[in-house]
Amino acid sequence: MGIEVVVEGLTKSFGKQSIWRDVSLTLPAGEVSVMLGPSGTGKTVFLKSLIGLLKPEKGRVLINGVDMVNSPEKDIYETRKLFGLMFQDGALFGSMSLFDNIAFPLREHTRKKESEIRRIVMERIEVVGLLGAEGKLPGEISGGMRKRAGLARALVLDPQIILCDEPDSGLDPVRTAYISQLLIDLNAQLDATMLIVTHNLDIAATVPDNMGMLFLRRLVTFGPREVLLTSDEPVVAQFLGGRREGPIGMSEEKDAATLAAEAGALVPAAPRVIVPQLEPSPGLPPRQAVTRRRQRVMGMIDSLPPAARSAIRDTYAKNARAATLTMPPAGSGA
């Protein structure tokens, strides 16, 4: 099972430029979470801070008792082995075949024999649907295939925490749909804790158990997906609706005068419909995270906003009705 990641009061700057301040959240063990936000809000910086590649000025990231910000470097290095990281562009070595790219972490961090490395690499290549392409160079394949190769490389050390940085960037809607399904399928197979950084609304609507959003150097919200998907906070509503009207501008936040002018001519947004979360592909086991999440969310439901409470109850009621309809009749012997 995946590992819980606890973030407490994380603050990061580059020189005088504040990236985000006082970010606190918990990634529940084995669940899939998404971090949304407009471009330039520090989502990739957040991922690199979780894994200890960047050092925030304040706060803690606790994983199995190790603080990825303040613990000794040897402890951080060992804990980093629990992670698999999928970079935006795949970050593949251009002179290496896909096989050698995917095998690289095994050769670098383990003492496994080449026969064992080959078995593991070919298993991961099959999982991401790249069988037959293992001999190709990164420059000989499409961007979507490079992303899947990067994901396969992130999986070879059997990570308990998987971080995906913009897995949809540069992909068309069809390939994005394939990536979304692949991420759900991986969670079903590995039960790993997953955090996906994206600004793709299709991924956000269909993949995660939990959602958060970064904007204006702060964490706007983080929690069960229904909280963000039903939120009436202006920046969330603008982002999810893909509208010009709202706090997000082309380069930075809009000034007060612009927001006031927009408010006078604002057309109410259509009610948002919460689409069902993706299910694992046929033949795969059910996601273990689903049961754990339900217990966790129902335990906190009275503390959630009314719209989120209603959406959660509606979702579980529909799931219960669907399960009843698919059950064989009593005495059928099935």
35, 19, 41: which is closest to 228 by C-alpha? Answer: 35
| 8 Å CB contact between 59 and 25 | no
pLDDT at 147: 87
* Single-letter amino acid, residue 156: V
Nearest one of 217, 204, 219 to 167, comparing CA atoms:
204
Question: What are φ and ψ of residue 137, in 5° steps?
Answer: -85, 155
Q: Which two tokens stand for residue 278?
A: 């993706």
Please report the pLDDT score of residue 136 as a whole number. Answer: 95
Give the pLDDT score at 209: 97
CA-based nearest residue to 272, from 198, 205, 334: 205
Rounded mean pLDDT, 94-101 = 94
- Strand ranges, E, within 51-136: 58-63, 66-67, 83-86
CATH architecture of 5-262: 3-Layer(aba) Sandwich (3.40)
- Residue 108, SS3? helix
> DSSP assignment of 273-332, as one string?
P-PPPPPPPTTSPPPHHHHHHHHHHHHHGGGS-HHHHHHHHHHHHHHHHHHHHHSPPTTS
Range with the lowest mean pLDDT among 136-140, 179-183, 250-254, 265-269? 265-269
In tens, the pLDDT along 52-90 reads 999 999 999 999 999 999 999 999 999 998 999 988 766
Instruction: Please tell me the distance from the alpha carbon of residue 279 to that of residue 146, in angstroms, as a whole number.
Output: 25
Structure confidence by residue, pLDDT tens digits, 211-238: 999 998 899 999 999 999 999 888 888 8
pTM: 0.87
Question: What percent of the chain lies above the pLDDT cut of 70?
Answer: 89
* β-bridge pairing 32-36 and 210-215: parallel
Contacts of residue 326, defined as CB under 8 A and 6 or more positions apart, other chains included, come to none
